[in-house]
């Protein structure tokens, strides 16, 4: 599964530093999950472009995917993922208490530049009825309202991803 930002995936694929990695991730994917909802011709154009990069890959929008409970994470882990020649490390954080979005933003801004990707959900102290989605690529991070919690436990689950060749120092704070 590759998670791609609808607003940035094409731009990132052309970047001289991360472009080859982005393209390789698309080619290796069984499924591409598109964040940042788009519709109409923009959605069709992006879908065609991704399928040109990776023939046969399934492409879905996050709104379709979220309704299947994909964010109900049960375990924390630290693992390695291999994409092409690059090995990635991941670290997951969990919290059952609600978080102030300003505090979470400050923590995210304090992450070292080696962190390539941030993703997950958080239990927002200011909106306890909805999951809030955390998405980050490089230094750009967004927090956005997601689906209602429903019967799911209200919790925060955030994953950080970085190349194994680096050893980032995760800041102390609300999740560190």
pLDDT at position 50: 92
pLDDT at position 43: 86
Tell me the whole-structure pTM to 2 decimals: 0.53
Mean pLDDT within 39-56: 89
- Sign of the Cα torsion 112, 119, 101, 94 reads negative
Residue 156 pLDDT > 60: yes
Domain with 132 in it: 78-163
Q: Specify whether 118 is located in the same domain as 57.
A: no
Structural domain includes residue 26: yes
Q: Specify whether 60 is located in the same domain as 90.
A: no
Structural domain includes residue 30: yes
DSSP 8-state class, residue 11: H
Q: Specify whether 83 is located in the same domain as 62.
A: no
Structural domain includes residue 14: yes
Best CA proximity match to 156, nearest among 103, 91, 96, 85 = 96
Residue 106 pLDDT > 70: yes
Number of domains in the chain: 2
CATH of the domain at 135: 3.30.1220.10
Residue 175 pLDDT > 90: no
Mark which of 66, 86, 104 sits at the end of a domain: 66
User: What is the CA 126 to chain-centroid distance, rounded?
Assistant: 22
- Cα distance between residue 86 and residue 5, in whole Å: 21
Q: Phi and psi dihedrals of 100, rounded to 5?
A: -75, 130
Q: Specify whether 32 is located in the same domain as 84.
A: no
Helical segments of 5-156, H only: 9-13, 19-28, 40-53, 62-66, 101-109
């Amino acid at each position: 599964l590759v998670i791609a930002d609808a607003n940035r995936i094409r731009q990132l694929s052309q970047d001289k530093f991360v472009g080859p990695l982005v393209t390789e991730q698309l080619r290796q994917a069984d499924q591409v999950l598109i964040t940042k909802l788009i519709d109409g011709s923009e959605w069709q154009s992006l879908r065609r472009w991704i399928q040109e990069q990776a023939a046969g890959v399934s492409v879905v929008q996050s709104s379709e995917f979220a309704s299947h409970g994909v964010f109900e994470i049960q375990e924390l882990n630290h693992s390695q993922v291999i994409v092409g020649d690059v090995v990635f490390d991941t670290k997951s954080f969990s919290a059952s208490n609600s978080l102030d979005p300003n505090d979470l933003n400050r923590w995210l801004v304090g992450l070292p530049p080696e962190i390539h990707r941030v993703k997950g959900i958080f239990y927002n102290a200011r909106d306890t009825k909805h999951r809030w989605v955390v998405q980050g690529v490089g230094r750009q991070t967004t927090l956005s309202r997601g689906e209602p919690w429903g019967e799911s436990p209200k919790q925060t689950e955030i994953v950080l991803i970085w190349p194994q060749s680096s050893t980032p120092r995760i800041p102390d704070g609300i999740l560190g």
